[in-house]
Structure 1
Amino acid sequence: MTVPYFITSLKPHREKRSDGRPLLECLRGLTFIQWAQFFSGWMAWTCDAVDFFSVSLSVTNLERQFDKTAHDITTAITLTLLFRSLGAIVFGVVSDRFGRKWPLVINLLIIASLEIGVSFVQTFHQFLALRAMFGVAMGGIWGLAAATALENLPVEIRGLASGVVQQGYAAGYLIAAVINLTLVPKVSVRWRAMFWCAAVFSSSAALLRALLPESAVFLRAKEIQREQGVTTGNKTKVFLTETKQMLAKHWLLCVYAVVLMTGFNFLSHGSQDLYPTYLQTSKNISNHNATIATIIGNCGAITGGAIAGWVSQYLGRRLTIVIFVCTVGAFIPIWILPNSFSGLAAGAFCMQFGVQGAWGVIPIHLAEMSPPAFRATFPGVAYQLGNMISSASAQIETIGGAHFKTYITEKGKQVQVPDYAKVQGILIGTVAAFVVFITIIGPENHAAQFEKAKTAFEEGGGNDELEIDEFPSRDKLSDDDDYEKASIQHISRAYRV
């Protein structure tokens, strides 16, 4: 019996690079600018999460503020996720056309402004309107942040870097949880303080990115274009042409990426967005302890993401995802069955270790899978369209909670409450099985050197068939200026400029 290729292709294989260097050697060889750009991308994604989870952590406070039910409040989460795909398209296209730096800076400043606006809303409709606008602004962050963090790093460490940068999401949740635990109860403005702090983080991330240079890949490509005398108008025309060619050639890949990210976003949002509410409502855990359990869960997420990203460099992207998603299924019982704080906290750690471990591979997996000239637009749009489709995760769970009931003891009496444990267990189990299936049948371009491809404003960028030899080794040249000049000359020869 012949084993299908999509199964045998999961077998671990060596790096495609024949000159691959050890991880520690690569880390020691990183320049200050490379470290700074990686941190800038990580911080931008962290800021996105701080804001997003400020709502999740404030559901009970927002219910009291606006006299609404949990289902009503989660409408804000749904709206944010729905509109993020629009932002991904706008900011992704601008980034692939004009570069990574200033689109990300502008994006972060818009977010900071909206965060300040949310802190002053007085009505529920004002809150919903600003959260919808947030969705557009936040939609651009992930693609730009991942490209900023990863594309200037050596290929040997991109797996580890992918896991760390993706867990900026968990780090943001962790920061928001700490603010909710320590600051919110002590200030008169309560939940509004969450968004003031988020605005500070976002504006700081914008300042950091503004102080750093543009991506080296874009600088080299722009230098070649200047030598050719190509005008801005011509570049825009070429960009639109190459975009059409890319979509015509890779439409099936685009559909697959959206389906994959739909599953991943259901997995993530289904296990996180309503989690604090689940602990307080279905398990009778205090707001304080629910926040601590959330912090513990995000420690598991950060750990899992870094480990999975590093392991994927050796096992491959898809096999690593499959392994970690299978652990999610195994951890569901200890995530939903305990009633004690210690048991629930342990379950949170294990669940997020698996969920965000699998997610830690996604930034590099999507970047390697992408048509290389569109590695800001393609991953960002796929991610956010998946977000849009899965946007009702929290509302699905609240609706399920209205039909599945359980009892808790409150002040010596049995009280009927939504059984979010059962709802989340069913949802996550189903989604985990789907993610394993869709990952196995999908493509993988492990260790692709996408930094060598043309950019989207160069002719041929949409076809991504050009093979370019190695850039000149930095240690063979006297200084950075010589390295940049040699790189430009090398690419010019490869492109037959």
Structure 2
Amino acid sequence: MAVVEYLHGRSKTLKPTLDPATNPIRLWTSLSLRQWMYFLVGVFAWTWDAFDFHSVTLTYPDLSRTFNKSTKEISVGVTLVLMCRPLGAAIFGLAADRYGRKWPFIVNNFLLIFFELGTGFCQTYSQFLAVRALFGFAMGGIYGNAAATALEDCPEAARGLMSGIFQNGYPLGYLLATVFWKAFDENTPHGWRALFWFGAGPPIVLILARLVMAETDTFQGRIPLRGARPGVKDSLEEIKLALARHWGVLLYLVLLMTGFTFLSHGTQDLYPLMLRNKYDFNSTQITLVQVTANLGGCLGGAVVGYGSQIFGRRFSIIISCILGAALLYPYTFVSGPGLYAAAFFEQFCVQGAWGVIPIHLIELSPVAFRTLVVGTSYQLGNLVSAASNSIETAIGERYPLPERDGEKIYDYSLVICIFTACVFFYTILITSVGPEKRGTALSSDDDDAEELERDTASDTWDMHHSGPMIRY
């Protein structure tokens, strides 16, 4: 009965409670210079995170020649990055929630610089795998901290719009990686290594900017967490406490992010291969389609993110998924000029739904463990969906088409269409039964109050049994 009542309550809350629409320009101008600085640092960190990740996927052939390995073996480096990211998200997220956003962010970027440079100097395949695994650990800490830094100080009315713009950092990072790889490819004697060396440079700007900026106002406004307990053992105890107290929220967010990451991987990863293999597109045509799709994604993230502030987070996600599912057939089975429009609007819907995610995760996460929960749920969902490329490829080989010039052709259109339709349905279902806290306060919650009560009790004990103590 409790489950039935809960589901009935969820269905009732899907009806959008229309909030008055505010001019987007007015929303932008509502941010102070300080808030804009935090937002720009956060969104640039997320953008460059995507740049670093796609640096490997764009250089598969060159890495294969350098290390004398197949593309499948080189892809192990990407798998290791995905496997190590949840660990980095948990450790850096806990540090950011416990000690502040600033210094974990700075340390995180130092590690990214070090491992990105190290990738460019790798001489053996084993070195490459080891460095990429360490890089994945550092990379995992970026998303949660960057999202908190960018969004938790934003005015309430501007959260949806700024969330959509923040999420656009991912397609923007992919575009920048493509552009710079084209610039470096065959124009430098160092080949693929130059892209990684270049990728290590911009995080220096992030470090310098963050050094001169204080903690976010939201973090400073929280009830002070006194009696910090450093050390590995105590950090593990903190993670255990967070899991014991918030396992339900974390589990739901992991399930939600699994659907979303399957959605982006399902519509994007195999798409260039489909265009080349089935429709015989050349590299220029594929690039044009991809650029068109990413431009649609950037616009969709901002528009739907803004709309979620008016219609609600879940309602906006569900409508985007319904429209995206309706566009799957032209997205995968049209090969004429109409393909560009289909790609634009398909990614408009996919990235539009994604545009709601950063602020939706922040609002649902407990304040005291915000960075930990946001980053870890995102990275665990990403880890679960990492096999989407392999799944689609394996299924596609069961649907062969007539060969062309001796090349085996597979009906990847059918696979992408059916696979992604199932993912859309799953995402709609998991979103509809989940909670929503649009407009909730982002400064303090019960975790902070309990922490203060626990520390106060500890202080009282110290004063009565050991004399007055100063707790740092």
Same fold (TM over 0.5): yes
In structure 2, C-alpha distance between the alignment counterparts of 1:137 and 1:310, rounded to whole Å: 31
| Corresponding residue number in structure 1 for 2:285 | 289
Q: Confirm whether residue 417 of structure 1 aligns to residue 421 of structure 2.
A: no
Report percent identity of matched pairs: 40
Q: How big is each residue's C-alpha offset from its partner over 1:346-402, in whole Å with a ceiling of 9 and x where there is no partner?
A: 333222211111111011111111112211111111111111111222222333344
Which has the higher mean CA deviation after the structures are superposed, 386-395 or 280-289? Answer: 280-289
Aligned partners of 2:24 and 2:161 also within 8 Å: no
Offset of residue 43 of structure 1: 0.4
| Corresponding residue number in structure 2 for 1:138 | 139
2:331 is aligned, of 316, 332, 335, to: 335
| Corresponding residue number in structure 1 for 2:395 | 400
1:311 is aligned, of 289, 304, 307, to: 307
In structure 1, C-alpha distance between the alignment counterparts of 2:292 and 2:347, rounded to whole Å: 9
Which has the higher mean CA deviation after the structures are superposed, 170-179 or 398-407? Answer: 398-407
Query: 1:190-201 counterparts in 2 under 5 A?
Result: 190-201=191-202
Give, as a single letter, the amino acid of the residue that structure 2 aligns with 1:430. C
| Corresponding residue number in structure 2 for 1:446 | 438
In structure 1, C-alpha distance between the alignment counterparts of 2:287 and 2:231, rounded to whole Å: 50
| Corresponding residue number in structure 2 for 1:11 | 15
Q: How big is each residue's C-alpha offset from its partner over 1:39-83, in whole Å with a ceiling of 9 and x where there is no partner?
A: 000000001100112222233444444444443333332221121
Offset of residue 36 of structure 1: 0.6
Offset of residue 142 of structure 1: 0.5
Q: Confirm whether residue 388 of structure 1 aligns to residue 380 of structure 2.
A: no
Offset of residue 112 of structure 1: 1.8
Q: 1:215 to 1:352 in 2, by over 3 A?
A: same
Q: 1:69 to 1:290 in 2, by over 3 A?
A: farther
In structure 1, C-alpha distance between the alignment counterparts of 2:400 and 2:68, rounded to whole Å: 23
The SS at the match of 1:4 is helix
| Corresponding residue number in structure 2 for 1:299 | 295
Q: 1:237 to 1:79 in 2, by over 3 A?
A: closer
Gaps of 5+ in 1: 463-497
| Corresponding residue number in structure 2 for 1:271 | 267
Q: Confirm whether residue 459 of structure 1 aligns to residue 451 of structure 2.
A: yes
In structure 2, C-alpha distance between the alignment counterparts of 1:69 and 1:215, rounded to whole Å: 46
Aligned partners of 1:243 and 1:456 also within 8 Å: no
In structure 2, C-alpha distance between the alignment counterparts of 1:62 and 1:346, rounded to whole Å: 34
| Corresponding residue number in structure 2 for 1:29 | 30
Aligned partners of 2:366 and 2:447 also within 8 Å: no
In structure 2, C-alpha distance between the alignment counterparts of 1:241 and 1:116, rounded to whole Å: 34
Aligned partners of 2:117 and 2:196 also within 8 Å: yes
The SS at the match of 1:442 is coil
Offset of residue 313 of structure 1: 0.2
Q: How big is each residue's C-alpha offset from its partner over 1:139-164, in whole Å with a ceiling of 9 and x where there is no partner?
A: 11100000000111111101111111
Q: 1:187 to 1:218 in 2, by over 3 A?
A: same
Aligned partners of 1:115 and 1:199 also within 8 Å: yes
Offset of residue 91 of structure 1: 0.5
Aligned partners of 1:96 and 1:456 also within 8 Å: no
Give, as a single letter, the amino acid of the residue that structure 2 aligns with 1:322. I
Q: 1:77 to 1:338 in 2, by over 3 A?
A: farther
Give, as a single letter, the amino acid of the residue that structure 2 aligns with 1:88. A
TM-score by length of 2: 0.86
In structure 1, C-alpha distance between the alignment counterparts of 2:365 and 2:45, rounded to whole Å: 21
Aligned partners of 1:324 and 1:357 also within 8 Å: yes
Aligned partners of 1:50 and 1:175 also within 8 Å: yes
Q: 1:242 to 1:197 in 2, by over 3 A?
A: closer
In structure 1, C-alpha distance between the alignment counterparts of 2:218 and 2:279, rounded to whole Å: 51
Aligned partners of 1:407 and 1:414 also within 8 Å: no
| Corresponding residue number in structure 2 for 1:362 | 357
Query: 1:475-494 counterparts in 2 under 5 A?
Result: none
TM-score by length of 1: 0.82
Offset of residue 407 of structure 1: 4.4
Query: 1:201-216 counterparts in 2 under 5 A?
Result: 201-216=202-217
Aligned partners of 1:178 and 1:295 also within 8 Å: no
| Corresponding residue number in structure 1 for 2:45 | 44
| Corresponding residue number in structure 1 for 2:461 | none
Gaps of 5+ in 2: 455-472
Q: How big is each residue's C-alpha offset from its partner over 1:86-134, in whole Å with a ceiling of 9 and x where there is no partner?
A: 1110100000011111111211221122112222323333333222222
| Corresponding residue number in structure 2 for 1:183 | 184
| Corresponding residue number in structure 1 for 2:467 | none
Aligned partners of 1:177 and 1:295 also within 8 Å: no
| Corresponding residue number in structure 1 for 2:175 | 174
Q: 1:123 to 1:320 in 2, by over 3 A?
A: same
Q: 1:458 to 1:96 in 2, by over 3 A?
A: farther
The SS at the match of 1:365 is helix
Give, as a single letter, the amino acid of the residue that structure 2 aligns with 1:77. V
Q: Confirm whether residue 432 of structure 1 aligns to residue 427 of structure 2.
A: no
Offset of residue 186 of structure 1: 2.9
Aligned partners of 1:246 and 1:371 also within 8 Å: no
Number of equivalenced pairs: 449
The SS at the match of 1:406 is strand
